[in-house]
Amino acid sequence: MNLDLRLDTSGDFYARKFQPTKREDTLILNMGPQHPSTHGVLRIILEIDGEYILRAEPVLGYIHRMHEKMAEVMSYPQYLPNPARTDYLHGLAWNWAHVAAVERLMGLEVPERAEYIRVITCELNRITSHLLWWGAYLLDLGAFTPIMYAFDDRERIQDILQRITGSRLTYCYYRFGGVSNDIDDRFIEETRKQCSRMKPRFKMFKDLVTDNFILRKRVEEIGEIPADTCRKYGATGPVLRGSGVPYDVRRAEPYSVYDRFDFNIPSYDTCDAMGRYLVRMDEMQESIKIIEQALDTLPEGDYIMPKAPKKPKPPAGDVYFALEGARGKIGFHLVSDGDKSPYRLKLRAPGFSNLSLFSEVSEGVLIADAVSILGSLDLVIP
């Protein structure tokens, strides 16, 4: 692949010109960024023979906003809103990874109540992320009705989170040493009610969608990703667990108070899109179990540590903190020189690794199946 940088006629930006080496009797086709299944920010250049894909080249950068570089020119509190923009569907996980990396480097002791609140809110956010994936995935495959059910539950959870965090999508709720606001009896009551409401709905989701003959034809034995391929590309999360590897950071590298809760790590060894689908459906039910246990054992006490640093200056050194996001392993490698801003911040976004294997997996499949494979990876492109 040759990428030729040329000034656009408008003079505003440089445009990439893709100049592939095309084989005889094949066609080069752009899939995205306007294609509905790429959601406006991903372009895949396909070389096709009829309806079959011979080669696929993802083109990234349409919504790249230099979050790592921005960290170097902002103070630690100023950067708090940024991580949630990296993955706007599970923003609380990224918000958590940022503050936890700073806390680990500074040796801050987070109050027990704050840890429980983080678990509860982060798991609620995980459910909203999976619900949106479920609805959008099925919409990409041609089914409209499920997204209405998905957003019915998702909006209720967002109402719960909005009242306590002030946001519905790009959250900035966690703080160095705790959280910005305590939860109250109303939050606990509404969360319990929503958990009880959702439990029987998974049976309805199964009858309506999961067992649907049309869906199964679109996902079973489609996009088979062996565990070795996941390891080669560094794929994690439901993509890895859908290939039979029950790796979850909450269990493999326990953080916060996750080791106090009883929950399963769903995994399926089918390695196909159906396996990844089933992992996420099961994960939502496991998140409900975690939330209910956390509410049952929620301790009293401070929601943020006394004298929490308002303008933290971590000591010189480096630290790595990882946690389990909705799309896989989130990593923050923070390097400090003792100043008010990080010397360097390197982010590990699971979607990048998960997308990287698409070129290999898509060879020889139908274009329609490529849509199913892409959706099963649950990509958030930024």
pLDDT at residue 274 in the model = 98
User: What is the pTM assigned to this prediction?
Assistant: 0.92
DSSP-derived pairing of the beta strands 27-31 and 14-19: unpaired
Q: Would you state the structure tokens that stand for residue 83, as one six-digit string?
A: 């991580």
Phi and psi based region of residue 212 (left: phi greater than 0; alpha: psi -120 to 50; beta: remaining): beta
φ/ψ (deg, to 5) at 188: -65, -45
pLDDT tens digit string along 38-67?
887 899 999 999 999 999 999 988 877 889
pLDDT at residue 258 in the model = 98
What does 327-348 look like in DSSP terms, one character per residue? TEEEEEEEEE-SSSS-SEEEEE
pLDDT tens digit string along 178-195?
999 999 999 999 999 999
CATH class of 67-377: mainly alpha
What ranges do the domains of the chain cover? Answer: 67-377
Rounded Cα distance between 373 and 382, Å, is 19
pLDDT tens digit string along 279-296?
999 999 999 999 999 999
pLDDT tens digit string along 223-264?
999 999 999 999 999 999 999 999 999 999 999 999 999 999
pLDDT at residue 12 in the model = 37
